Amino acid sequence: MHPVNWLIVGVYVAYVLVDGIRRARGTSEIEGYFLASRSLPWWAVGLSVMATQLSAVTMIGTTGQGATDGLRFVQFYFGLPLAMVILGVTLVPFLRGAGVYTAYEYLERRFDSRTRALTALLFLLSRGMSCGVIIAAPAVVFSAVFGWPLVWSVALIGIPTVAYTMLGGIQAVTWADVKQMILIVFALLAVVVVLIVQMPVSPGEALHIAGATGRLQVFDFSFNINETYTFWSGLIGGTFLMLSYFGTDQSQVQRYLAAKSVDAARTSLLMSAYWKIPLQALVLLVGVMVFVYYEFSPAPLLYNPAHEAAVADARGAEYQALQDRYGEALELREGAARRAAGLPTPAATPPAPPGAAAAPQAAPTPAPAAAPNDPAAQDASRQAAMDDFLAREASVQEIRAEALAMAEQVTGEPSRDVNYIIPRFVLGELPIGLAGLFIAAIIAAAMSSISSELNSLSTTSIIDFYRRWFRPEASDAHYLKVSKVATAFWGVFACFVAVYAVSLGSLIEVVNRFGSFFYGSILGVFLLAMLPRARGIAAFTGLIAGMGAVAAVTFGAPSVSFLWHNVIGAGVVLAVGMALSGPRRNSS
């Protein structure tokens, strides 16, 4: 990477660290360290909530998802506005009025210590694993750029962030999030502008080409529980996921517990309801535009440099032959894309046979031109050109599928390289300075999310376990010291998970799969807590039953989309909990 890019990255990271240390001064009480003395303004809390969710996973995994699958992923967030409204009138006033440090502390007051401990444990497991995925995303960048072992790349991201979080507390984390959100949005918009300028087609033509490949299709109204990204899975399953994530996940609850008032907490959540879907659409659009960019520029056969090198070493002649076929297919696809966009082509290429993915014909002949004053003929010619482009695109993707299969055979690892598309584009195609800005944005996103996750993991570990079961009468200074040890422990745990998570596919899907395994059952317990009839033993039993049901579906019916796991978990907890609570009575 160019020294100017390194300078931008270094200056930004240093600024965030220095500012975090400055804001950590004077924090000597646990309420100040964990909840900023409940003094944060709504807009800072709202930006922090969004920054915590908009991690490096989003910057890398979601953009890669946009390049390979288009805008369908935005349906995942259709339940978010509804969830925020529900939380604003239910859990937010409940938890704020209870004066708790963690969401799970409230469950003991409502039910019993067993329910609190089990729910907090499930949160620690789910969020600890998800934090590992968040660390994995920027580690992918460094591994791809510098050829370092993934373990060292994980350490490079994880260790400084753990050290910063140990010092900062939520006050420093929140204000760092505000700055990082600004940088992230600016970097995304800058990349869109550069893509528009560098592509040989207008934005309208670019979107037309993307639409022809299905990448602008947002809505899928089919009701299929085996399909992840549909309108109904996003609206129903997404609502349950968002209710659980924003309402019961300590990394989010801790934000609005730190707000000045109930109204400030509600407003911060509504901020996410209004802006999250447009922001997510922007992230996906960056990926879609990168896809279109590579229709007119040579794209790597394998985006993962490590797999590319391994295949070239192990099966050099076979891989070179595949590269040659790929190069010819790219030339044909570019010519077809130019004709579909109405651009001149250096040399016309023959139309592909319908549905073909065959090698190019040896004697190209120009495609017939439409009569200049015949609109019907022009439309027919344009459609023929687009059909030819789609056939050429299918041919390219078939060759890429062969290369990915070869990489999987050679390395013994899953070969989906969706997480490497954006890093390769940023470092290979963006101008000097902007590449450094985008890498800084990825690091900023990683630092904001990792620090928030580690802070919430530490808070839950100390408040729900250490103070509750081991040292209930210690001083604030003691709890602060132990909380920093807990932060270090969870940081090391997350780093181990990160090394494994990179091989699981699209990181944005992985982090939500981890969460969906636990979130629905946790949400079910909090829903029971708002029902006067529910009792402690019933809530504890229902939680176990909910986790068992989700595990049975996950491993017994893997084709069921993970979004529906949230509905299943919450539904089973509610059903079992109410069935065991018996006739209406006060909580136990």
- Token pair recorded at residue 95: 């938890």
CB hemisphere CA count around 277 (13 angstroms)? 19
259 SS3 class: strand
Question: What are the tens digits of pLDDT across the range 250-277?
Answer: 888 888 788 888 888 888 888 877 888 8
Q: What is the pLDDT of residue 584?
A: 58
Q: Which CATH number fits domain 3-274+428-468+479-581: 3.30.710.10, 1.20.1730.10, 3.40.640.10, 3.90.45.10?
A: 1.20.1730.10
Neighbours of 193 (CB within 10 A): 11
Q: What is the pLDDT of residue 320?
A: 92
Question: What are the tens digits of pLDDT across the range 301-355?
Answer: 888 887 888 899 998 899 999 999 999 999 999 988 888 887 776 554 444 444 4
Tell me the three-class secondary structure of 140-185, residue by residue: HHHHHHHCCCHHHHHHHHHHHHHHHHHHHHHHHHHHHHHHHHHHHH
Tell me the three-class secondary structure of 458-495, residue by residue: HHHHHHHHHHHHHCCCCCHHHHHHHHHHHHHHHHHHHH
Q: What is the pLDDT of residue 399?
A: 92
Q: What is the pLDDT of residue 349?
A: 46
Radius of gyration, alpha carbons of the chain:
26
C-alpha dihedral sign at 62, 487, 548, 236: negative
Residue 508 — very low, low, confident or very high, per pLDDT cuts 50/70/90? low
Element (H, E) at 124: helix 113-146
Q: What is the pLDDT of residue 360?
A: 44
With 0.85 as the threshold, say if the pTM is over it: no
**Residue 567 scores a pLDDT above 80:** yes
Q: CA-CA distance, 303 to 417, in Å (whole number)?
A: 6
Q: What is the pLDDT of residue 372?
A: 56
Percent of the chain past pLDDT 90, that is, above it, reads 17
Question: What are the tens digits of pLDDT across the range 33-47?
Answer: 777 677 778 788 888
Q: What is the pLDDT of residue 442?
A: 81
Span 366-381, mean pLDDT? 61
**Residue 371 scores a pLDDT above 70:** no
Question: What are the tens digits of pLDDT across the range 389-412?
Answer: 899 999 999 999 999 999 888 888
End-to-end CA distance of the chain: 62
Q: CA-CA distance, 201 to 206, in Å (whole number)?
A: 6
Q: What is the pLDDT of residue 348?
A: 46
> Comparing 79-83, 137-141, 356-360, which segment has the lowest mean pLDDT?
356-360
Q: What is the pLDDT of residue 202?
A: 87
Question: What are the tens digits of pLDDT across the range 197-240?
Answer: 888 888 888 888 888 888 888 888 888 777 777 888 888 888 88
| Among 18-22, 127-131, 152-156, 272-276, the range of highest mean pLDDT | 127-131
Residue 25 — very low, low, confident or very high, per pLDDT cuts 50/70/90? low
CA angle 124, 129, 134 (to 5 degrees): 120
Q: What is the pLDDT of residue 114?
A: 93
Question: What are the tens digits of pLDDT across the range 451-504?
Answer: 888 888 999 999 999 999 999 888 888 988 898 899 889 988 988 888 777 666
Q: Where are the domains of the chain?
A: 3-274+428-468+479-581, 305-416
Question: What are the tens digits of pLDDT across the range 146-170?
Answer: 777 778 888 877 777 787 777 766 7
Q: What is the pLDDT of residue 359?
A: 42
**Residue 381 scores a pLDDT above 70:** yes
Percent of the chain past pLDDT 70, that is, above it, reads 88
Residue 484 contacts residue 166 (beta carbons within 8 Å): yes
Average model confidence (pLDDT) across the chain: 82
**Residue 547 scores a pLDDT above 90:** yes
